[in-house]
Structure 1
Amino acid sequence: MNNKQETNFFERFNIKDWITVIISISAVTISFNSYRYQVNVNAKNQINQSNKELKSQAINVSMWYQTVSSKSNENITISNSSENAIYDIFVINVSNRSSGTPADLNLVHKYGNDYSTFCQYFEVLPPGRTELYLPPMNAAGGEHSVPEIFFKDSNGVTWFRNYKGNLTKTHNIATLLQKYEIPLPLNQYSRS
């Protein structure tokens, strides 16, 4: 009798019905996975767009060393090609073998506490180019000084651009200077 019940159960469904059920389940599974994939792609696109908007001003701030001419002692150019000013600009000289991270602020102590010589602070820099002077430091084996910059954009976000050109969001300059025991500037360190 038990065998007869099993036969009746399987006799109710023929192979076409089983194929239809399997295809339906597969279609639902594929649809669900496609939906999940599209949601993930949309979320990543929104994050990328948000990051792009967040960096929209910061990507337009750069700096470089230039050859000192007889007309000028300035050897570093800061370019702010955005339409807005940048704030709390802190420029330091570091070794081209440094870590390239905000922790490079710790290297400022290596050169003593004459902050007007080895780093410069500006409260505001308007759009355009600004030239400044930091004494170059050279060592054996190709080691030399390179500039790095911390600045706050017009949205109040603080950025760090290392000597390799990498741009990263960081803590505000007051917090960083306090962390590395560098006195907060009450005025510009610069000589000008």
Structure 2
Amino acid sequence: MEQKKKEKTFKQMLWISMISMTMMFAGLTSAYVVSKGREDWVSFVLPSAFFISTILIILSSLSFYIAKRNLLAGEQTKTTLWLVVTLILGLSFVFYQFNGFNQLIEAGLYTTGKQSNVASSFLYVITGAHLLHIFAGIIALITVLVRNITGKYSVASHLGFSLGSIFWHFVDALWIYLFVFFYFIG
């Protein structure tokens, strides 16, 4: 009974955190929409690297899902393999996000200084905030990977794995929302 109570408590804490993060990004994207009415607003095209990073993040969610299915099937080695794939895809996502920032700079879109504008500043702040959450997700993913390698998870006991999975899928879905938002609203 104690395990069920612990699981319920940790999942509630995670959900409350994710709701708070969602509210923060809803506020930021709402401010973006309101600011679009400014006279000095500059429209921009999303960097091609953001398209690639979106594909990578979707694939990382798929690989984490496969890892969890393998865990529940009692396949620790396959679970580890798919967690490594997820980590590589997550790190690749970060790499392409920074490539996207470089593409924005090459296009003359800066976050601060004389050459900056409100639109690009919003883009940097919102995507930067998302990257902070991705870094938290990568730390959680590394923790899940190490715990899986050391045999801490089993078919019957995998709370940390499940929490890591929920958070990873959340930050993935959050990026997809942001990408679609910037693609159609930006």
Normalised TM-score (structure 1): 0.25
**Bigger radius of gyration among the two:** 1
Larger relative contact order, structure 1 or 2 (CA cutoff 8 Å, min sep 6): 2
